[in-house]
A and B are shown apart, each in its own frame.
Chain A
Amino acid sequence: ETGVTQSPTHLIKTRGQQVTLRCSSQSGHNTVSWYQQALGQGPQFIFQYYREEENGRGNFPPRFSGLQFPNYSSELNVNALELDDSALYLCASSKTGRPQETQYFGPGTRLLVL
């Protein structure tokens, strides 16, 4: 176990709704990255937060947004849900956010959009 926790484990929403997913990073880590993993695919980078600031973003629309809190936990918010947003959402924490640093993944939140 990595010490990275995510909630909820599963979630069902309907198209057009909004969703908030939560992540608690491993103790001593100040950087959180979020990834989307569609069925049968590798994780795809959404964005990263370092000390409460966005520190890089992948090719995802603005309806995907995030926050990081002073205790370094993080939220991923998705507005106007679409069917294609159905996926496993993973967060990963790292110690300082420096390049070449190991990222430790949580178990993920499985989101189903109907």
Chain B
Amino acid sequence: GENVEQHPSTLSVQEGDSAVIKCTYSDSASNYFPWYKQELGKGPQLIIDIRSNVGEKKDQRIAVTLNKTAKHFSLHITETQPEDSAVYFCAASIGQAGTALIFGKGTTLSVSS
């Protein structure tokens, strides 16, 4: 079945460093790739998304790149801050209508000051 693999599972960086999280997906029909941030006790919050007709998207300190040929996409956070500490999930659209999401297992990012 469809699958999204996410690496690494944990990531520790110093404040001000960059963080990169990588995901690969199996369904070649996937065309929408959101990234969510989940803090303890809260629901996932969308931080950035990319659609298949775009190779890269940036929003301030956050950027996402997509390689449809290789079926992988990545999240890049620059100038990390302690408040960036959370669990990050990548996801890909699946299903007949492409409206459901399949998620990776998450990356726990810790930013120390």
Binding site for B on A (CB under 8 A): 2, 4, 31, 33, 35, 40-45, 48, 55-56, 58-59, 90, 94, 97-108
Contacts and interface: CB of A to CB of B under 8 A. Distances in A.
Contact of A103 (B6, B34, B94): B34
12 contacts: A33-B100, A42-B6, A43-B103, A45-B102, A55-B99, A56-B95, A58-B100, A90-B44, A97-B97, A99-B99, A101-B32, A107-B42
Given A42-B89, A43-B89, A99-B93, A104 B99 contact: no
A41 B105 contact: yes
Contacts of B91: 42
Interface residues of B, number: 31
Contacts of B97: 55-56, 97, 99
Interface in B3-46: 4, 6, 31-32, 34, 36, 41-46
Contacts, number: 78
Given A90-B44, A100-B51, A104-B46, A42 B104 contact: yes
Contacts of B96: 56
Interface of B: 1, 4, 6, 31-32, 34, 36, 41-46, 49, 51, 89, 91, 93-106
B45 to A, nearest CB: 7
B32 A99 contact: yes
A106 B34 contact: no
A44 B49 contact: no
Given A43-B89, A56-B95, A90-B43, A100 B101 contact: no
